[in-house]
Amino acid sequence: MNDTSDELRDGVDCAGRSICRFLYASRLAPGQPATVVGALLTQARERNRQLGLSGALLFDGEHFLQLLEGPAEVVDALARRIEADPRHTEVQVLLHGADAQAPLFQRWWGGWADADAVQAFLALDRGDPARLLDAFRALVRDEGDMH
Ligand SMILES: Cc1cc2nc3c(=O)[nH]c(=O)nc-3n(C[C@H](O)[C@H](O)[C@H](O)COP(=O)(O)O)c2cc1C
């Protein structure tokens, strides 16, 4: 295990670091109308562009998967708001930390993901941050451009 992986796995938050990543999985909260997802994607796209964040938000009809990456203080503040957002539930933080590598995404992506692919992703070893990030990037690439 190298230093980068240790930092990613052990980072509680990104205080004092330059580039921060926050990756989580959650479920649409019971009783939320289907229209909420479109509204969330629109809101996230606009806000993240303003905030200078890259990453992706995927939805498979039930689960969300999201990676946010950018300046530490911006990512940490948004991570707290997202974790408290009642429109989703069962938020599982998969990664929250910083490393010296460049952002995985040049910009913001959002859209639909295949449910089987999301299940396969959620079954991955949570203790291997680099593998999780690779798999997340592959999941987004497989879905194509979803704007
Ligand atoms: C699954 C999910 C993903 C979200 N992703 C983002 C996001 O990427 N960017 C964003 O600004 N808000 C996102 N939000 C919305 C935030 O939780 C929050 O509503 C928003 O930042 C506005 O916060 P405010 O009302 O305190 O200003 C997301 C919410 C959910 C439920």
Q: Model confidence over 84-125: pLDDT tens digits?
A: 999 999 999 999 988 767 788 988 889 899 999 999 999 999
Which atom of ligand 1 is found nearest the CA of 47? 11
So what's the pLDDT on residue 145?
52
CA–chain centroid gap for 42, Å, is 16
- Alpha-helical (H) ranges within 1-147 are 3-10, 35-51, 72-83, 115-122, 129-143
Whether the Cβ atoms of residue 89 and residue 140 lie closer than 8 Å to each other: no
Atom of ligand 1 nearest to the CA of 78: 21
What are the residues whose beta carbons fall under 8 Å from the beta carbon of 143, sequence distance 6 or more? 58, 111, 112, 113, 114
Give the count of beta carbons closer than 10 Å to the beta carbon of residue 127: 10
Domains in the chain, please, with CATH? 3-143 (3.30.70.100)
Q: Tell me what pLDDT residue 99 has.
A: 76
pLDDT at 143: 63
**Residue 64 scores a pLDDT above 90:** yes
Nearest CA to ligand 1 atom 10: 44
For residues 115 and 17, what is the distance between their CA atoms, to the nearest angstrom? 34
For the chain, what is the mean pLDDT?
86
What is the Cα Rg of the chain in Å? 14
How far is ligand 1, taken at its centre, from the CA of residue 130, in Å? 25
Per-residue model confidence (pLDDT) at position 141: 82
Q: What share of the chain is helix, strand, coil (3-state, %, to 5)?
A: 40, 30, 30
pLDDT-derived band at 147, boundaries 50, 70, 90:
very low
**Atom number of ligand 1 nearest to Cα 108:** 8
Mutate to test the pocket of ligand 1, among 78, 80, 108 (most ligand atoms within 8 A of CB): 78
